[in-house]
Amino acid sequence: MGILSPGPSVALILGVATSRGRLPSLVTAFGVACGSIVLSVATIIGLTALLAQVAELMTVLRWAGAAYLAWLAYKAFRNAASATKLTVEKVGRESVWRTGLAGFALQVSNPKAIMFWLAIASLGGIGDAPLSVVVLFVAVVFLNSFIGHGAYAVLLSSAPARNAYGRARRYIESGLGSFFLFAGFKLATTRL
């Protein structure tokens, strides 16, 4: 469900896919999937449950997430207001690795993903399971994330999707900006 409801990671993949092409967007999806491994392991060892118990830390995390969503909203509104034409850039090997790292960093700091894993932790962890089950769980988390985000990358980097995005870019970016602004407001004002 976390992958099916687009959030900051899908917005990042959208930006990379439409401006830089398929390979960088797949590397971004790979980075996001690696970030999902970190969040799932944190859930298994109980860090997310610990975060849920420490109200002050959750407040800081909530405000940081709201600020991050406000920054994404600013970037989306700025993109909507710009008159630049959509072009696919050539990307060097180093840029591809930085792109993957950006996907990873976004996922491990993504408030939506963290809230998803907090919900998983509240249902009960698998920390007492045999190591083979834990390894299988983490592998399935990675595959689920990479396949889901990779599907977004392939779809959004296709010529028809890029052309449609180019025609509706201002509306899509304005919609994303509004979504991020609303999500940031809700995250900042909602008591957890």
- Give the pLDDT confidence of 156-178 residue by residue, as tens digits: 999 898 888 888 888 888 887 88
72 is a domain residue? yes
Q: Is 192's pLDDT higher than 60? A: no
What stretches of the chain show up as alpha helix (H) in DSSP?
A: 8-20, 22-45, 47-53, 55-81, 93-108, 111-123, 131-157, 159-189
Q: Residue 92: its pLDDT value, please?
A: 57
How many whole angstroms separate alpha carbon 80 and alpha carbon 173? 5
Q: Is the pTM of this model over 0.75?
A: no
149 is a domain residue? yes
127 closest CA partner among 119, 138, 116: 138
C-beta neighbour count of 147 within 10 angstroms: 12
Query: How does pLDDT run across 88-115, given as a tens digit for each residue?
Result: 555 555 577 888 988 898 888 777 787 7
Name the residue range of residue 173's domain: 8-189
154 is a domain residue? yes
Query: pLDDT band at 36, cuts 50/70/90?
Result: very high
61 is a domain residue? yes
- Provide the 3-class DSSP secondary structure of residue 191: coil
Query: How does pLDDT run across 43-80, given as a tens digit for each residue?
Result: 887 765 666 666 676 677 778 777 877 887 888 888 88
How many whole angstroms separate alpha carbon 189 and alpha carbon 65? 12
2 is a domain residue? no
Q: Residue 4: its pLDDT value, please?
A: 74
- Provide the 3-class DSSP secondary structure of residue 158: coil
- Provide the 3-class DSSP secondary structure of residue 17: helix
Work out how many domains the chain is built from and give that number. 1
- Tokens at residue 4, please? 């099916």
122 is a domain residue? yes
The vertex-134 CA angle with 52 and 153, nearest 5°, equals 80
Radius of gyration of the chain (CA): 17
How many whole angstroms separate alpha carbon 151 and alpha carbon 170? 23
Q: Residue 14: its pLDDT value, please?
A: 83
10 closest CA partner among 37, 33, 38: 33
3 is a domain residue? no
Q: Residue 45: its pLDDT value, please?
A: 78
Contact (Cβ atoms closer than 8 angstroms) between residue 3 and residue 145: yes
28 closest CA partner among 8, 12, 50: 12
